Amino acid sequence: MGLQKNNYILDRIKKELAEAEELAGSEKDSGMAELAREEVSRLLTEVNRLKGESAKKSLDGRDVRNAIVEVRAGTGGEEAALFARDLFRMYARFAERKGLKTEIFDSNFSEKSGIRSIIFLVKGKGAYGFLKYESGVHRVQRIPETESQGRIHTSAATVAVFSETEIREVKIDSKEIKIDTFCSSGAGGQSVNTTYSAVRVTHLPTGIVVSCQDERSQLQNKERALKVMAARLAEQQERDQNEAKDAERRAKIKTGDRSEKIRTYNFPQNRLTDHRIGFTSRNLKEILDGGLEPVIEALKATDSE
pLDDT at 276: 93
**More confident call, 244 vs 288:** 288
Residue 212 backbone phi and psi in degrees, to 5: -135, 135
Q: Helix 30-58 crosses helix 3-26 at what angle (to 10 degrees)?
A: 160
Tell whether 93 and 125 lie within a shared domain: yes
Tell whether 219 and 253 lie within a shared domain: no
pLDDT of 249 strictly over 70? no
pLDDT at 186: 56
Tell whether 113 and 203 lie within a shared domain: no
Tell whether 252 and 213 lie within a shared domain: no
Domain containing residue 152: CATH number: 3.30.70.1660
The tens digit of pLDDT for each residue in 121-171 reads: 999 999 999 999 999 999 999 998 767 778 899 999 999 999 988 777 777
**pTM strictly above 0.85:** no
| 302 closest CA partner among 273, 279, 269, 272 | 279
Tell whether 142 and 24 lie within a shared domain: no
Residues of the chain above pLDDT 70, percent: 82
The tens digit of pLDDT for each residue in 206-223 reads: 889 998 887 778 888 888
Quick one: pLDDT band at residue 104, thresholds 50, 70, 90?
A: very high
Tell whether 69 and 20 lie within a shared domain: no
Quick one: pLDDT band at residue 190, thresholds 50, 70, 90?
A: very low
Tell whether 190 and 290 lie within a shared domain: no
pLDDT at 193: 52
Q: Please, which residues have CB within 8 angstroms of residue 271's CB and are 6 or more apart in sequence?
A: 264, 280, 281, 282, 284
- Boundary (domain end) residue, out of 240, 269, 290: 240
Q: In angstroms, how far apart are the furthest CA atoms of the chain?
A: 88
Residues of the chain above pLDDT 90, percent: 41
The tens digit of pLDDT for each residue in 235-248 reads: 887 777 666 555 54
Total number of domains constituting the chain: 3
pLDDT at 15: 81
- Boundary (domain end) residue, out of 207, 240, 273: 240
Tell whether 213 and 95 lie within a shared domain: no
- Boundary (domain end) residue, out of 189, 222, 240: 240
Highest mean pLDDT, choosing among 23-37, 76-90, 249-263: 76-90
pLDDT at 32: 76
pLDDT at 194: 52
pLDDT of 233 strictly over 70? yes
pLDDT at 112: 86
**Other beta carbons less than 10 A from residue 97's beta carbon:** 13
Tell whether 189 and 121 lie within a shared domain: no
Q: Please, which residues have CB within 8 angstroms of residue 240's CB and are 6 or more apart in sequence?
A: none
pLDDT at 115: 96
Which residues constitute the domain of residue 99? 63-167+242-304
| 53 closest CA partner among 90, 105, 9 | 9
Domain containing residue 229: CATH number: 3.30.160.20
Tell whether 264 and 288 lie within a shared domain: yes
Tell whether 178 and 37 lie within a shared domain: no
Cα dihedral 115/116/121/127 (nearest 10): 80
Q: Using the CB atoms, write b or e for 270-298: b if 16+ within 10 Å.
A: eebbbbbbebebeebeebbebbbeebbeb
pLDDT of 84 strictly over 90? yes
The tens digit of pLDDT for each residue in 17-61 reads: 788 777 777 766 677 777 877 887 887 888 777 766 665 555 447
pLDDT at 289: 97
pLDDT at 19: 80
The tens digit of pLDDT for each residue in 139-150 reads: 999 998 767 778
**More confident call, 15 vs 251:** 15
**Other beta carbons less than 10 A from residue 92's beta carbon:** 18
pLDDT at 241: 64
Q: Residue 54, SS3?
A: helix
The tens digit of pLDDT for each residue in 262-284 reads: 999 999 999 999 999 999 999 99
Q: How far from chain centre, in Å, is Cα 142?
A: 24
pLDDT at 126: 93
Tell whether 81 and 97 lie within a shared domain: yes
